[in-house]
C-alpha cells in the first residue's frame, strides 16, 4: 500500500512511538482509515511536527503492511481555532471513526461528509444538527442504518402528510402508531423528524425534536460499539455540567 502521488487526509488520532516518532491514524479519501508511522515527528524542527486533528493534509506514505511510513504531510489550509465545544465535537466524530471502521476500508462518500461536518462545526459553534447527520451517514456507509420508510412490524409506509408519532427501536427500525411501544428503550419521533433523518439533513433541526433524534442515533450506535462508552461523550457531559449556569443556550443547541 504505497502512494506516490499523494492524497487528501485528516488526522483522527496520534500517539507517541519511541523517543521521537508518532503513530498517526488518518482518514484518507481513497483508502479510508490508515495507520502510519511518522518518523521523527516529535522533533521540534521536523516537517511533520504540526500533525494534529482538525488539519486538512496532503499526505504520501511508503511501504506496505499494517503501518507504512509517512513520507510527506503538507497542510492544505490553516487550522482554524476551535473552542472547547467544537474540539469535543471533533473528538467525537473522530472517535466514532476509530471505533467503528477498519483500516483499509475505503469510504469516499463518508470522507466528503466528514469534510462537510468539519466546515459546519467551524461555522456554527454550539450547533449539533450536523453531528446527527454524520451519525446517520456513518451508519448508512457501514450498512447498519435501519429502514425509516416503512414499519418494521407491518410494512406500512411513512406518510409525510400525516401528523403523527412513530417509534424508533435501535437495530430494528421504526414502528407505526398501530403498534404499542415494545419497551422503554424505544424513542418516540414525529413523522417530520423521520423525514429529516432520511433526507439530505442539510439544515438545522426544527420543531424541538433534536434531543429525540440524538437519543435514537445514540442508541443505534451503541449497538455497534459493543456497550463500551465513548470517552468523547464522557468529556462532553462533564464540560456541560461545569458550564451549565452560563451556557444554557449553547447546550440546548448542541443537543440538536
pLDDT of residue 163: 86
Compute CA distances 14 → 68, 77, 100, 113, 114, whole Å. 15, 20, 17, 22, 18
Range of the domain at 20: 7-75
Confidence of residue 185 (pLDDT cuts 50, 70, 90): confident
Q: Residue 4 pLDDT more than 60?
A: no
Pick the closest to residue 94 from 251, 256, 232, 236 (CA basis). Answer: 232
Q: Which of 75, 91, 118 delimits the end of a domain?
A: 75
pLDDT of residue 252: 45
Compute CA distances 74 → 93, 115, 158, whole Å. 23, 17, 48
CATH of the domain at 246: 1.20.1440.120
Question: Higher pLDDT residue, 211 or 207?
Answer: 211
Same domain, residue pair 69 and 137: no
Query: Mean pLDDT lowest for which of 58-72, 132-146, 165-179, 240-254?
Result: 240-254
Same domain, residue pair 64 and 119: no
Same domain, residue pair 167 and 220: yes
In a domain, 143, yes or no: yes
pLDDT of residue 45: 86
In a domain, 1, yes or no: no
Same domain, residue pair 31 and 157: no
Residue range 100-124: mean pLDDT, rounded: 93
In a domain, 2, yes or no: no
Confidence of residue 225 (pLDDT cuts 50, 70, 90): very high
Same domain, residue pair 106 and 186: yes
Counting the structural domains of the chain, the total is 2
Same domain, residue pair 120 and 175: yes
Report CA Rg, the chain.
Answer: 20
Q: Which of 75, 101, 118 delimits the end of a domain?
A: 75
User: pLDDT by residue (tens digit) across 122-176?
Assistant: 887 666 889 999 999 999 999 999 999 999 999 999 999 988 999 999 988 999 9
Same domain, residue pair 70 and 127: no
Q: Which of 45, 75, 105 delimits the end of a domain?
A: 75
Same domain, residue pair 97 and 187: yes
| DSSP code at position 34 | E
C-alpha cell of 19? 523517543
Amino acid at each position: 500500500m504505497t502512494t506516490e502521488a499523494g492524497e487528501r487526509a485528516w488526522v483522527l488520532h496520534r500517539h507517541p512511538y519511541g523517543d521521537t516518532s508518532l503513530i498517526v491514524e488518518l482518514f484518507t479519501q481513497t483508502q479510508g482509515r490508515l495507520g502510519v508511522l511518522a518518523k521523527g515527528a516529535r522533533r521540534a524542527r521536523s516537517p511533520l511536527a504540526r500533525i494534529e486533528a482538525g488539519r486538512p493534509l496532503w499526505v504520501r506514505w511508503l511501504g506496505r503492511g499494517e503501518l507504512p511510513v509517512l513520507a510527506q504531510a503538507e497542510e492544505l489550509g490553516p487550522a482554524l481555532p476551535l473552542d472547547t465545544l467544537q474540539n469535543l465535537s471533533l473528538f467525537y466524530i473522530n472517535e466514532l471513526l476509530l471505533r467503528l471502521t477498519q483500516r483499509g476500508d475505503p469510504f469516499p462518500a463518508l470522507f466528503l461528509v466528514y469534510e462537510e461536518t468539519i466546515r459546519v462545526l467551524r461555522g456554527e459553534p454550539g450547533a449539533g444538527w450536523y453531528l446527527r447527520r454524520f451519525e446517520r451517514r456513518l451508519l448508512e456507509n457501514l450498512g447498519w442504518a435501519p429502514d425509516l420508510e416503512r414499519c418494521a412490524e407491518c410494512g406500512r409506509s411513512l406518510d409525510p402528510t400525516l401528523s403523527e408519532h412513530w417509534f424508533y427501536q435501535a437495530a430494528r427500525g421504526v414502528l407505526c402508531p398501530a403498534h404499542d411501544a415494545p419497551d422503554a428503550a424505544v424513542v418516540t419521533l414525529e413523522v417530520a423528524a423521520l423525514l429529516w433523518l432520511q433526507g439530505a439533513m442539510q439544515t438545522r433541526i426544527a420543531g424541538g425534536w433534536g434531543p429525540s433524534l440524538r437519543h435514537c442515533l445514540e442508541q443505534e450506535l451503541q449497538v455497534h460499539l459493543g456497550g463500551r462508552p465513548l470517552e468523547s461523550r464522557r468529556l462532553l457531559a462533564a464540560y456541560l455540567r461545569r458550564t451549565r449556569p452560563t451556557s444554557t443556550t449553547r447546550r440546548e443547541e448542541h443537543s440538536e
